[in-house]
Structure formats: structure tokens, C-alpha cells
Amino acid sequence: MGHTRWLNDEEKRAWTAFTTAHALLYRRLEQRLKRDFGLSGLQYEIMARLSGAPDREMRMAELAGALVNSKSGLTYQIGQMEKSGLVRRRSCPSDDRAVFAVLTDEGMALLERAAPGHVETVRELLFDVLTPGQVRALADGLGEAARRMAEGPGATRAADDGSGCSGVGAEATADLGA
Amino acid sequence: MGHTRWLNDEEKRAWTAFTTAHALLYRRLEQRLKRDFGLSGLQYEIMARLSGAPDREMRMAELAGALVNSKSGLTYQIGQMEKSGLVRRRSCPSDDRAVFAVLTDEGMALLERAAPGHVETVRELLFDVLTPGQVRALADGLGEAARRMAEGPGATRAADDGSGCSGVGAEATADLGA
DNA sequence: GTAGATTGATTCAAATTTGAACGCTAGATG
DNA sequence: CATCTAGCGTTCAAATTTGAATCAATCTAC
């Protein structure tokens, strides 16, 4: 392997902008969610994902894959949210291994209260700053990068077996600003 | 406050692409760093930042601000890295409150070994996928967003007093792919 | 100068995250 | 059918992160 292809100045700018913007934005969103609704960012994302899925439910592994989170971490958070009544577990009749996380009515209600402010913040801090062309570049460029990383080698398999328990095709983008 | 300005389809695509690409990429980078060098992502970033600063040192608060991390979290990590000899603390003669984190020669050497693979991964998974126009859009659009969030209201102050202890202007972008 | 307010960093307990086992079931192979 | 492999979710201990105190030192206004 020859010489490293270092980043040029514009790539360095892009890289720091990417990581810094993400960190700052995510931090703001978390602060707001915690302060106003006692929710963590992950909890919001879980609810947003579930809200967009058929019957408002997803299998644990599928959900973990969609959120890019570890399985054990998801188990923990679903446990917390179950205590709070935001989510409920349901086991799958046809496959005793599978567990579904289901968004409760209470969870849905909280999500609907939290979503407006959340989305508004994303808009103010991100989309109001970007030109339409830049929005498209994000969607296209980063979308393609994400797709390749999700499939390509090294991806933590989330193997989508089309088992009889239903199951969503991976691309369910929630309406409530997942 | 009237109605919520929800995200349109392209904005939703951009938002999920942004968050998902970041999560996937960051996870890959962390796995690689941990496996090959026993480093966490944060530790790498700390070293990369320090390596680009004058005298390879920064004040704790300044560093925390640059990394978008809590002060207490940084205290912990610097403690860990000090044990490993990657970093060393130095107190400021003219201000007894201030503490500098200094990258040691050993730390610098490790960074130089880790950087090529790190940067190469970023290139493969991100920049090789993006068009030059998309790179520019990231740099410009997200750069502007980051700038506003860093300054605008709600920013966790990192007040840059130009005290006699030296101190870097906030924008030191490290060469080693911070 | 001195009280009072601010800033810099650390400490501490609680919450969360991580990754490697573990137990269990479904599906494949013989 | 018996066994073997692989997938799913959980558990567990260790590591990390968080945020609210805390302690000390600087700066401000009297």
C-alpha cells in the first residue's frame, strides 16, 4: 500500500463541518428534548421510527439496525421506556426468538407533543441555513455514502429475513423527523 | 407560533442521510481505532486537535469546546490518556486555574501511526463517494450551520479570553484528519 | 483592599453504553 | 429424528458519559 491520500483543504473543511455540525446540532436537540419532555435523543428516535412502522412496531434487531445502535443498548433503552409506558414488548407467535417493540398510545401522544419543537429546531439550525442545492447534495451524497456503508463489507449484519411475523423493509423514514 | 414547518421529502432524505451516514461512519472509525490501536474515537480526536495546536497544547476548556464535549468528560479522558502516557498536564503560570493538555512525543508517535488508516477510511467511505460539488456543499453549508450554532444563542460558552497564557484562535483544524 | 460574581477544572453519584458471553429457538444437514 | 449452525434477544461487568455540586483563583465594583 503506497502513500496515504491525505485530505486536501476543502475536504478537511468538509470533514470538520460535518462532524462539528452534527455534534452541535445533536447536542441542542438532546438538551431540548430532555428539558421539555424528559426524553433522550435515542428515546425520541426510537419513538419516531416506531411511529412510522406498520402497526407502530418493529423487531428489536431491525430497530437496532435502523438506529445504528448496539442490540444490548437497545434492550436497555426499551426497558426504560417500557417502565415509562412509552413502549411495550410483544413476542412473536410464529417465532419465539423474536420480540417486537410497540409504540403505545401514550408514547405516540408524547411523540406528537415533542415533534413540533424538535423539527422546528432542526429546521432553524440546519435547513434554514442551507440552500436548496446544498440540501440536495446532502440527500444525494450522504445518502449514497450511508447506503454503501450499510450494505458494504464490515456492516454489522441485520439480515432481513422475510419471516412470517411481518417486518418492514429497512427504509421506513418516519414522518416525525426521525 | 403558528403551524409547524414540517420537513418535505427531500429534507427528510437529507436529514436521515446526515444522521445515518454520520453514525455509520463514526462507528466504523471507532471500531478500527480500537482494534488496531486501542484508541477510542474521542481519544483520537483529542490527539489530532492537540497535534495541530501551537506547542501541541490546549487548555482544557478550549479543547472541550472544540470537541463539543463536556468538561467533566474531557477531564476523565485526559486522565486516562495521561496514564497511558499519550498526554500530559501542564498548569499555567499566569493563571493557576488553567490547565493545559499537552500531546507527548509518545502520543504524537501513536497518532502518526494511526492517522493514515483513519484518513484512508474517511476517504474511502465518504469522499470517494462524493462529487466535488457535494464536498463543497458540505463544507459550505454545514460549515455555515456549525458556525452559527457555535456562536448563536444557546451555545455553551467557551469564552476565549486572550489571556497571557497563549491560546489558540478556535479554528485550528488539525492536519491529521480530526 | 475587599466582598461578590465569574470562570476553570475537578469530583462524585447516577445513568448510560459497550462488548463479550449466554440461553434459547429456528432452520439446515445428515 | 439427531445434530449442528446461526440468529435473536438478554445479561453482566466494566468503561464511559452526564450534570450537578464543589473548590480555587481571577476579575469587578465598590
Residue A137: its pLDDT value, please? 98
Q: Does B178 have pLDDT greater than 80?
A: no
B24 is a domain residue? no
Residues in contact with B11: Cβ distance below 8 Å, sequence separation at least 6, in sequence order = A123, A127, A135, A139
What pLDDT, on a 0 to 100 scale, did the predictor assign at position A94? 87
| Cβ(B178)–Cβ(B45) below 8 Å | yes
The model's confidence at residue A175, banded by pLDDT at 50, 70 and 90, is: confident
User: What nine digits make up the cell of A70?
Assistant: 448496539
pLDDT of residue B174: 67
A81, part of any domain: yes
Residue at A38 is within a domain: yes
**pLDDT tens string A24-73:** 999 999 999 999 999 999 999 999 999 999 999 999 999 999 999 999 99
Place of cell 412473536: A92
**Domain for residue A165, yes or no?**
no
Question: Which structural domain range is residue A39 located in?
Answer: 26-115
**Strand-pair partners of A100:** A59, A90
User: Which comes out higher in pLDDT, residue B170 or A95?
Assistant: A95
Interchain CB distance below 8 Å, A142 and B4:
no
Asked if residue B167 has pLDDT above 60, the reply is: no
Report CB contact under 8 Å: A150, B17.
no
Q: Please list every residue in chain B whose beta carbon sits closer than 8 Å to the beta carbon of residue A18.
A: 22, 126, 138, 142
Length of chain A equals: 178
Is the separation of the CB atoms in B133 and B117 below 8 Å?
no
Q: Above 50 in pLDDT, residue B170? A: no
Nearest Cα to Cα of residue B97 among B67, B59, B62, B63: B59
- Contact yes or no for B136/A141 (Cβ under 8 A): no
For residue A82, give how far its alpha carbon lies from the nearest alpha carbon of chain B (Å). Answer: 25
Cβ distance of A122 and B18 shorter than 8 Å? no
The Cβ of residue B145 has, within 10 Å, a number of other Cβ atoms equal to 23
**pLDDT at residue number A158:** 37
Supply the CATH number for residue B100's domain: 1.10.10.10
Is the shortest CB-to-strand distance from B156 to strand D under 7 Å? no
pLDDT in tens, A128-174: 999 999 999 999 999 999 999 998 767 654 333 334 455 444 444 66
Does some domain include residue A102? yes
Query: What mean pLDDT do residues B68-86 have?
Result: 97
B4 assigned to some structural domain: no
Which of A83-92, B13-22, B75-84, B167-176 bottoms out in mean pLDDT, i.e. has the lowest?
Answer: B167-176
In this prediction, residue B26 carries a pLDDT of 97
Q: Number of structural domains, chain B?
A: 1
Q: What mean pLDDT comes out for the span B147-158?
A: 73
A95 CB closer than 7 A to any strand C atom: yes
Tell me the chain B residues in contact with residue A25 when contact means C-beta distances shorter than 8 Å: 145, 149
Residue A39 within a domain: yes
Q: Which nucleotide is nearest to B59 (CA to C1')?
A: C8
Burial A5-26, CB ≥16 within 10 A → b, else e: eebeeebbbbbbbbbbbbbbbe
Distance of alpha carbon B19 from the chain centroid: 17
> Looking at chain B from residue 69 to 108, which residues have their Cβ under 8 Å from any Cβ of chain A?
none
In a domain, B86, yes or no: yes
pLDDT at B93 over 60: yes
Give the 3-state secondary structure percentages of chain B, helix then strand then coil, rounded to 5: 60, 10, 30
Handedness of CA B121, B126, B128, B129 (dihedral sign): positive
* pLDDT higher at A84 or A159: A84
Q: Cβ A134–B140 below 8 Å, yes or no?
A: yes
- Pairwise CA distance, residues B173 & A6, whole Å: 14
The H helix count followed by the E strand count for chain B is: 7, 3
Structure letter (DSSP) for residue A171: T
